[in-house]
Amino acid sequence: MALTELNFEFTPKEPKELNDEWGHVGIVSSGDLEILIEKGNAYKGKASFHILTTVVGFDNVWETVLGRLVDKTGLSGVKVSINDNAATPAVVKRRLQQAIENGGGLQ
């Protein structure tokens, strides 16, 4: 069984741009994930997520966790690539915050 691929796009109400070109955090060990945030002109005003995960059937949870964080922080103008190895929602949220921090924070 191949990896599950998920794609989401969110448009925050108050969009904020990332300070640096890119940010990266995390190691894909069991129960953890890796997040790569890259700025791109094609994503103006929105945050595009591309997820590769080993877990099946949690599409709604992903959408809720990521959607809320994007809305709260205003993360936009970026493509976010995630490699996941069964991380819990709390870990996902924390890593995404760290990834934004690693990319210099939001303007």
Positions touching another protein (CB under 8 A) are 1-3, 20, 22-24, 27-29, 32, 34, 36, 38, 52-54, 81, 83-86, 102-104
Q: Which is nearer to another protein, 17 or 32 (CB)?
A: 32
Output the smallest distance, CB 88 to another protein, in A.
Answer: 15
Angle between helices 89-102 and 59-73 (to 10 degrees): 40
Output the smallest distance, CB 7 to another protein, in A.
Answer: 15
* Short-list 68, 71, 78, 67, CA closest to 100: 78
Q: Which is nearer to another protein, 22 or 43 (CB)?
A: 22
Which tokens belong to 34?
Answer: 């890796």
Let me know if 100 is exposed, middle or buried by CB neighbors in 10 A (0-12, 13-18, 19+): buried
Q: Which is nearer to another protein, 38 or 71 (CB)?
A: 38
Q: Which is nearer to another protein, 7 or 14 (CB)?
A: 7
* Short-list 50, 39, 33, 19, CA closest to 93: 33
Output the smallest distance, CB 35 to another protein, in A.
Answer: 10
